[in-house]
Amino acid sequence: MVIGLIPAAGRGERLRPLTDRIPKPLIRVCGKPLILHAIEHLNAIGVDEIVVALHYKKEKIIEFLKSQIDVSIKYCYPDKLLGLAYTIYSAKDLINETFIVHLADNIFMDNCKYVLNEHIKRRADTTLLVERGDPEGRYEAIRLERGRILDIVEKAEFSYGYRGTGIYIFEPILFNYCKNVKKSDRGELELQDAIKNMIDDGRRVFGVLLKGRRVEITTEEDIRRAEEMMGCEK
């Protein structure tokens, strides 16, 4: 079995004032909340058991999910917003097998099951779905050679030519690295630093190139762009 983990804890600062009233995972794109886009994509990949990590306006998200979907969902509650590694670590007691981290603010317009297939085939410890591109101040820079990830730097000021897309596949060993990661210069516990430490330890960390299209929802302009790409402009 493979478990899905959706980090949905953050405040969505760059979508304010929308997120002053509505938690970012409930922001609608094409009439559907972001978190539902993520759940449906995980279902399409073959994931039926999902953990959702909640903090900001968590009651609103729970209320929506209980009323809208018929999927097995468990919840974890990071007590602070200290970065993605901290949020993922809060799910450690609910996950003891391969799991897919699917960021709630990324919409994929094509089924990405192939990345899970590659993770299994390669017997990887970690597999990232990556795309060609520069960090642009909001993505990680990824050094990818012959399928192996050799370096990863969050929000780098340089480019290796590849960046992340919001889907990560892990074995439970990741929790050990999340537990031991140090705060970054931004004052956060970065998932990318945990992955970097796995690479330095010789763990099997791979990258798979995205096939198809995706859009990350960070600003209101992203919402408009996504709806245009998906053919559902208002």
Q: Domain map of the chain by residue range?
A: 3-229
DSSP alpha helix (H) spans, 90-139: 113-122
pTM for the complete prediction?
0.93
What dotted CATH number matches 3-229?
Answer: 3.90.550.10
pLDDT in the model for residue 191: 95
Going along the chain, which residue ranges are E strands? 3-8, 28-29, 32-33, 49-54, 72-76, 99-102, 106-108, 126-132, 141-145, 148-153, 162-170, 205-209, 214-216
Angle (nearest 5°) at CA 165 between 67 and 26: 25
Residue 89 near residue 29 (C-beta atoms within 8 A)? no
Q: List per-residue pLDDT tens for the chain, 234 residues long.
A: 899 999 998 886 777 887 788 899 998 988 899 999 999 999 999 998 999 999 878 899 998 898 776 677 999 999 988 899 999 999 999 999 999 999 999 999 999 999 999 999 999 999 999 999 998 878 899 999 999 999 999 988 899 999 999 999 999 999 999 999 998 888 789 999 999 999 999 999 999 999 999 998 888 888 888 888 888 865
Residue 95 near residue 71 (C-beta atoms within 8 A)? no
